[in-house]
Structures are given as structure tokens and as C-alpha cells.
Amino acid sequence: MLDDSDSYVTEDGRTIGGVVMEMQNITLRFGGVVAISDISFDIREGEIRAIIGPNGAGKSSMLNVISGFYVPQEGRVMYRGQPRPQMRPYEVARQGIARTFQNIALFEGMSVLDNVMTGRLNHMKASVFQQALWRGKAEAEETENREAVEKIIDFLEIQHIRKTPVSRLPYGLKKRVELARALAAEPSLLLLDEPMAGMNVEEKEDMSRFILDVNDEFGTTIALIEHDMGVVMDLSDRVVVMDYGRKIGDGTPDEVRNNQDVIDAYLGVSHD
Amino acid sequence: MPEQLAFAMEVTLNGLMSGVLYALVALGFVLIYKASGIFNYAQGVMALFAAMTLVGIMNGQVPFSHLINALLGTEIHHFGWHVPGFLAIILTVAVMVLLAWLVQVCVMRHLVGQEPIILFMATIGLAYFLEGVSDLMWGSEIKTLDVGLPQGINIAVEEATYKLFDYGFFIDNLDIVATVIAALLVSGLVLFSQYTKQGRAMRAVADDHQAALSVGISLNFIWVLVWSVAGFVALVAGIMWGTKSGVQFSLSLIALKALPVLMLGGFTSIPGAIVGGLIIGVGEKLFEFLVGPMVGGATENWFAYVLALLFLVFRPQGLFGEKIIERV
């Protein structure tokens, strides 16, 4: 077994570091409904960590707990070895945790470029007056932020739609713009909520490639949710499997694939 | 040129200028509605409150003096100084920012996620509360406001038009100043929202709350900011109307004039508020000029509302509003 602070090298030569985020005995209820029941797992620096499970398993709820949109009734979230106090979503985002949404939450009225620029908001430190006068920090900052944004736009191959209003884009491209906006924040942890939901095979392949490239190029730690098992197994280093709010499996894709509980959950064996 | 036509031109010009004032009031509504989905019924009262605060500060009035005197048996009314207009405006802006913060912390923050009608009701309550507070703070008598804006007929325009048309236009200097200030204000707002961090965040919140949270924007902060900007716009509107017709209760009724402007321009569009204001301004002046004599005059009282009604029937989203598409 690995220790929390240990690092190791994967078969394809990437270095996976110590534990960045640890969920400890998280329980989340909505009224009488238990969405998440006593779940613990950790996320290591530099890895691609997947949370999978059938529909309604509580995957999205889990992601919402990590990003501060939901507050669990029990358990705690450890971030970089420290217990995280209760935070609002925007405070979590300012800590360097960026996310995308299952149902895409983009600024529909803005251009692609403006959308990605909003990802940089927390890297802008100049005061209103400096910005108004275009003095001091403001100018240097704007240039720096523009460069960072252009780099990401290049990287995700969306240069051709830079100026297009987001509302006019097809679904697949919207997903990519949302990823670009999250990346623009230079997150230390990137949360992707069903990045491939509703995509055709070709789009899924593109998105998988981008996720791998992001992880490889920027060393970004990624936690993603997916219910399509095939895609996830090829992408991720480790997988948590959820079913009915409980954790039924946790390990490398191979370990999970051979786990009897997981096979049952996906094939729909009844629980006695 | 026939005198009738020159006269119609003068009426149109005057209409454009009063339209600018309508647009100013409507702008305050649009700002808040866009960012938070709240139809702020109190916008007109905010203009009244801002104007009264400005006059009060300029005259060195002691706020709540009636209340203080009644409670303590004292007889204080004035500090005995006069504050120059420029400084008083800055102080009033500070008061409006404080008001924005109080509204957010005491009222709106507790109503996040409620139905629009509930938020609307809250702003009605706010309007009456604020009206009472303004009276209590500064007294309810009619006050004159003079921050040094020029008033009266513009001689240059009159002479120039007299040479051209043989008929001198009557254009009020105050209207010209109001137009210039409104233009500056609107360009300032556009630059602010396009090019500053806070402006970007404001547009982001107006577009999608969840997405805004996910990029680290504090909704509370942005709402205070938006109410502050709306308070500032209310102050500008209050100064213009207050200079024109005195600072008194009826000032808060200019909000009613903004309603048809919003119906025309759409609740979510800044250009819409401006164009809507101009159309209503020109429309009601021209209508009064052309049709008024046939129906016995006083059409200015209802023209704007009838126009708004027609828009509600045929184009409910207004000229620039977002299209209402219902997906089944």
C-alpha cells in the first residue's frame, strides 16, 4: 500500500504525487433521501481519478460536495492535508478547484474568448481605479491573461470560434469551451462532470484526447464523472465506483473491472 | 421653410431630450434586472432619496433632525455649514453604496432563489420604507436643488435656428447638459462592463449564476456592486429631475414613466432602455403636437402607456429584449 505522501511513476511515465484531496466518511442527505452514504476516497496529485456508477448513484452529488455546491451533513473534506472549513462555491473556486457542469453552464451571451477570460478573473489583481486609468498592474495583467487564454484556446483547438457567441455553438464545442474556461483558471484540481455525456463517438474520442493532453501537458490533477465505463477505463489511473450512494469499488481500472459488486451493479443484479 | 415644420423639429428635439431623462431612470431598472432578475420597484424612490440626500448634505442639514429633536427635546436643524456641490455628490454616492450594501445584507441575501414575484414584493416594501426614511431623514418639504447646472434657454441654439428657419428654437440648457451627462454615463458603464474585472464578473452573473460561482465570483459582492451602480444612476436621474422640477415626493413617480420605456426597450437591454426612452420622449411630444389639439390635449399623460400596451400585445419582449422561446 502507498502512503499518503508517497509518489510513484505510472507505466506511461507520468509521476503521480501524494494525496491532494481526501474525502472522509462523507454523508449527504436531501430530506429523507440519502444521496451519499459514508464514502471515503482520495485524489492524488497529477492523476486522473474517475468516479463512475449507474445513473442516480450520487456521482454528481459527490462532485458538488468537492466543489462546495453541496454541504455534506457528515464527514469532512481534507485539502492538502488540512481539514477544509465550510466554504461557498466561489471560495472553493478561488482555492484553485475548477469545474465543468453536466448540463453545461456557460455564459451564453458572451463570446468564446470572453467566456474563457472569465476563468482568469481570480488572476486579476489590479484595482478598479488602476483598470480605469489603464495604469500600473492593469496593463501588464491584461496582456498576461490574454496570453494564457490564447494558449489554452490554441491547445483545445477552438481558435476558429474565438469570437463566436457561445449560444450559437453546437453541443460538443460548448463542452470544449467549458473545459477551456476551467483550464484558464490554472486549477490545481479540475473537476469534470460527465465531460462526454451526449457526445457521439468521434466527439468522445476528441474529448478523451484533450483530457489526457491536459493532464500530460499541464500536470493537472483531474477528477471526472462518467457513466460510460468503456471510456473511463482507458482514461483514468484510479476509479471509484458508486451505486445507490455507496462506494462499491475503488482501485485501478483492472481491479475495478474484476470486482464482482461492480459487475453486478452494471448488469443490474438484484440486491437481496 | 414653413413655420409648422420648424416647430415640429423643435418639439422633436425637446422630446429627444426628455427621452434621455426617461432613459436614465429606465437604465437603473435594467441594470438590476439583468444581474439579479429583480424588478426593482424602488428605483424611483432611490432617485428621490438620492436627490434629497444630496440637497440635505449641501445645505448642511442634520439627518433625522425631527426625530432627534422630538426624542431629546433639542432644537437642532443645521450644522451651520454649506457643502459645495461636487463634494456633496461624492458623499451622496457613498451613501448610495451604503444603501446598496444594506439592501443586500438585510433583504435580498435572505431571498436568494425565491420566486420573482416575492423579490418584486420585497422591492415594493423597500420603496415604501425608503420613502419614509427619506422623509424622516431630511423632512418632507419641497426643496430646490442647485448643483450649478446651467438652466434657461440656450441663446446660441436660438440664434442659429433663427438664422436658418426664421424661427428660434427654445432648448433648455439643462436638457443639453442632461443629454451630455447621460451619454457620458452610458459610455462609462459600457466601458466598465466590457473592460474591467468587476464589469466582466457583473456580466457573468447576469448570464449564469452557477457558472459565475464556478469561476470564483461572489454573487453577494456583485449584487452590492450592481445596486450601487443603480444607486449612482438614480442619483444622476435625481439630480436632473430635481434641478428641473424641485426635489419632492413626485420625483419618485418618474419610475412610472420608466415602465413604458422598459416595455418598449425590453427589460434586459441597455441600448433598449436608451432607444425606448428616446422613442417615448419624442413620441409623446410629437403626438401631443400633432394629435393633441384634435382630442383636447393632455395626451402626454397616457400616450406612453398606450404605446406600451400595444407593445405588450404585439411584441412582449420589447425591441431589444431576449426572445421568449418556450420549449415543449
Exposed, middle or buried, B17 (CB in 10 Å: 0-12/13-18/19+)?
A: buried
Cα angle value A124/A130/A134 (rounded, 5°): 95
Inform me whether the pLDDT recorded for B325 exceeds 70. Answer: no
Average the pLDDT over A47-72 and give the result.
92
Inform me whether the pLDDT recorded for A270 exceeds 70. Answer: no
Residue A3 belongs to some domain of the structure: no
Amino acid identity, residue B4? Q
CA pair distance A116, B239, nearest whole angstrom: 40
Mutation site, A121, A128, A137, A189, interface B, largest B CB count within 10 A = A121
**Average pLDDT in chain B:** 88
Collapse the DSSP code of B151 into the 3-class scheme (helix H, G, I; strand E, B; otherwise coil) and give the result: coil
Contact residues, chain A, for B210 at CB < 8 Å: 69, 101, 105
| Residue that terminates a domain, selected from A175, A200, A228 | A175
pTM, full prediction: 0.85
Query: Which chain B residue's Cα is nearest to A183?
Result: B215
Collapse the DSSP code of A187 into the 3-class scheme (helix H, G, I; strand E, B; otherwise coil) and give the result: coil
Of the partner residues B197, B207, B212, the one whose CB lies closest to the CB of residue A109: B207
- Which domain, by its residues, includes A124? 109-175
Of the partner residues B196, B211, B219, the one whose CB lies closest to the CB of residue A105: B211
Which CATH number covers residue A65? 3.40.50.300
What does the pLDDT read at residue A134?
Answer: 64
What does the pLDDT read at residue A165?
Answer: 93
Of the partner residues B196, B213, B214, the one whose CB lies closest to the CB of residue A128: B196
Inform me whether the pLDDT recorded for B327 exceeds 60. Answer: no
Task: Give yes or no for a contact between B233 and B27, defined as CB atoms under 8 angstroms apart.
Answer: yes
pLDDT digits (tens, 9 = 90+) for A148-178: 999 999 999 999 999 999 999 999 899 999 9
CB pair distance less than 8 Å for A67 and B201: no
What does the pLDDT read at residue B154?
Answer: 86
Average the pLDDT over B89-107 and give the result.
96
Average the pLDDT over B281-295 and give the result.
91
Query: Could you tell me if A162 and A206 lie in one domain?
Result: no
Tell me how many residue pairs between chain A and chain B have CB atoms under 8 A apart: 78
A186 touches chain B (CB under 8 A): no
Inform me whether the pLDDT recorded for B54 exceeds 90. Answer: yes
Average the pLDDT over B124-142 and give the result.
92
ipTM, interface predicted TM-score of the complex:
0.87
Query: Could you tell me if A28 and A69 lie in one domain?
Result: yes
Residue A1 belongs to some domain of the structure: no
CA pair distance B52, A251, nearest whole angstrom: 68
Query: How many structural domains are present in chain A?
Result: 2
Inform me whether the pLDDT recorded for A211 exceeds 60. Answer: yes
Contact residues, chain A, for B222 at CB < 8 Å: none
CB pair distance less than 8 Å for B216 and A121: yes
Among A9-18, B40-49, B77-86, B258-267, where is mean pLDDT lowest? A9-18
What does the pLDDT read at residue B150?
Answer: 86
What does the pLDDT read at residue B55?
Answer: 95
Sequence-separated (6 or more) residues with CB below 8 Å from residue B252: B44, B45, B47, B48, B127, B131
Mutation site, B109, B184, B213, B214, interface A, largest A CB count within 10 A = B214
Inform me whether the pLDDT recorded for A272 exceeds 60. Answer: no
A235 is written with which cell numbers? 482514461
Contact residues, chain A, for B214 at CB < 8 Å: 67, 89, 93, 98-101, 105, 182
CB pair distance less than 8 Å for A106 and B208: yes
Q: Phi and psi at residue A248, in whole multiples of 5°?
A: -115, -5
Among candidates A33, A41, A83, which has minimal Cα distance to A58? A33
- Smallest Cα distance from B33 to chain A, Å: 16
Inform me whether the pLDDT recorded for A142 exceeds 60. Answer: yes
Among A187-196, B191-200, B205-214, where is mean pLDDT lowest? B191-200
> Strand A189-193 vs strand A221-226: parallel, antiparallel, or unpaired?
parallel
Query: Could you tell me if A68 and A123 lie in one domain?
Result: no
Average the pLDDT over B200-206 and give the result.
88
CA pair distance A246, A259, nearest whole angstrom: 15
A131 touches chain B (CB under 8 A): yes
- At B1, is the pLDDT very low, low, confident or very high (cuts 50, 70, 90)? low
Task: Report in angstroms the alpha-carbon separations of B158 from A221, B15, B149, B153, B285.
Answer: 72, 17, 19, 8, 19
Average the pLDDT over B206-232 and give the result.
92
CB pair distance less than 8 Å for B207 and A126: no
Of the partner residues A100, A101, A110, the one whose CB lies closest to the CB of residue B203: A110
Residue A26 belongs to some domain of the structure: yes
| Residue that terminates a domain, selected from A175, A197, A222 | A175
What does the pLDDT read at residue B323?
Answer: 64
CA pair distance B283, B300, nearest whole angstrom: 9
What does the pLDDT read at residue B328?
Answer: 57
How far from the centroid of its chain's Cα atoms is residue A159's Cα?
23
Inform me whether the pLDDT recorded for A263 exceeds 70. Answer: yes
**Average pLDDT in chain A:** 89
What does the pLDDT read at residue A50?
Answer: 94
Residue A149 belongs to some domain of the structure: yes
A105 touches chain B (CB under 8 A): yes
CB pair distance less than 8 Å for A108 and B218: no
Q: Which residue has the higher pLDDT, A92 or B152?
A: A92
Share of chain A above pLDDT 90, in %: 60
Sign of the alpha-carbon torsion through A251, A253, A259, A264: positive
CB pair distance less than 8 Å for B216 and A93: yes
Task: Give yes or no for a contact between A130 and A136, defined as CB atoms under 8 angstroms apart.
Answer: yes
Query: Which chain A residue's Cα is nearest to B207?
Result: A107
Query: Could you tell me if A76 and A130 lie in one domain?
Result: no
Share of chain A above pLDDT 70, in %: 95
Task: Give yes or no for a contact between A74 and A29, defined as CB atoms under 8 angstroms apart.
Answer: no
- At A68, is the pLDDT very low, low, confident or very high (cuts 50, 70, 90)? very high
CB pair distance less than 8 Å for B207 and A88: no
Average the pLDDT over B98-124 and give the result.
91
> Strand A33-44 vs strand A189-193: parallel, antiparallel, or unpaired?
unpaired
What does the pLDDT read at residue A106?
Answer: 94
CB pair distance less than 8 Å for B203 and A107: yes
What does the pLDDT read at residue A30?
Answer: 92
Of the partner residues A99, A128, A181, the one whose CB lies closest to the CB of residue B198: A128
What does the pLDDT read at residue A271?
Answer: 56
- At A1, is the pLDDT very low, low, confident or very high (cuts 50, 70, 90)? low
CB atoms within 10 A of CB A173: 19
Contact residues, chain A, for B216 at CB < 8 Å: 90-91, 93-94, 121-122, 185
| Residue that terminates a domain, selected from A175, A203, A233 | A175
What does the pLDDT read at residue B171?
Answer: 86
- At B84, is the pLDDT very low, low, confident or very high (cuts 50, 70, 90)? very high
Average the pLDDT over A246-261 and give the result.
90
What does the pLDDT read at residue B24?
Answer: 87
What does the pLDDT read at residue B245?
Answer: 84
Inform me whether the pLDDT recorded for B38 exceeds 70. Answer: yes
Q: Provide, for chain A, the percentages of residues in helix, strand and coil under a 3-state DSSP scheme, each rounded to the nearest 5.
A: 40, 25, 35
Query: Could you tell me if A92 and A151 lie in one domain?
Result: no
Contact residues, chain A, for B201 at CB < 8 Å: 118, 121
- Smallest Cα distance from B308 to chain A, Å: 26
Share of chain B above pLDDT 90, in %: 38
Sequence-separated (6 or more) residues with CB below 8 Å from residue A103: none
Collapse the DSSP code of B266 into the 3-class scheme (helix H, G, I; strand E, B; otherwise coil) and give the result: coil
Tell me the residues of B at the A interface, defined by beta carbons under 8 Å apart: 192, 195-198, 200-201, 203-204, 206-208, 210-219
Inform me whether the pLDDT recorded for B155 exceeds 90. Answer: no
Inform me whether the pLDDT recorded for B115 exceeds 80. Answer: yes
